Amino acid sequence: MPCALRNSLIRLGAIFSLCLVSHAQCPVDSIIVKGHVEHPIAQNDYRVRVQLVYPKHKPGEAGEVTVEDAKFQIPVEFVTAQSSLFTNLPKRCGRKPQTVVITLLSGD
């Protein structure tokens, strides 16, 4: 087999292997939180913090956004892979937050 053809087949095999690995991973999902502040005080330096909480009160991903015109919107991404004690088992992709905690922050 010519050397150039063998190198092309090796590269093709490596690309195919990477594609298989990428399909084996669990997807990243997101929650979009939209809201508004009903009675804002004259100052307009509010921020909103969103914290995802998983079963057994385990804290997860979080994000912050500035409130503009008394409204806010923030996407929070999370990985759906569930951890397992046994690493040789296939990954399950059903991890979802149970609660979303929204906190209004003002000034410092």
Q: How far apart are CA 52 and CA 62, in angstroms?
A: 6
Given a cut of 90, whether residue 30 has pLDDT beyond it is yes
Residue with tokens 């409130």: 67
* Average pLDDT score over residue span 20-35: 77
| Three-state SS at 49 | strand
Q: Name the DSSP class of 90.
A: P
Give the C-alpha separation, 22 to 73, whole Å. Answer: 30
Model pLDDT for residues 41-97, shown as the tens digit of each residue: 656 688 999 999 999 999 999 999 999 988 999 999 999 988 766 666 666 888 999
Look up residue 56 and give its two tokens: 């057994």
Report the distance separating Cα 68 and Cα 14, nearest Å.
Answer: 48
pTM: 0.68
**CA separation, residue 18 to residues 11, 12, 22, 67, 103 (Å):** 11, 10, 6, 42, 41
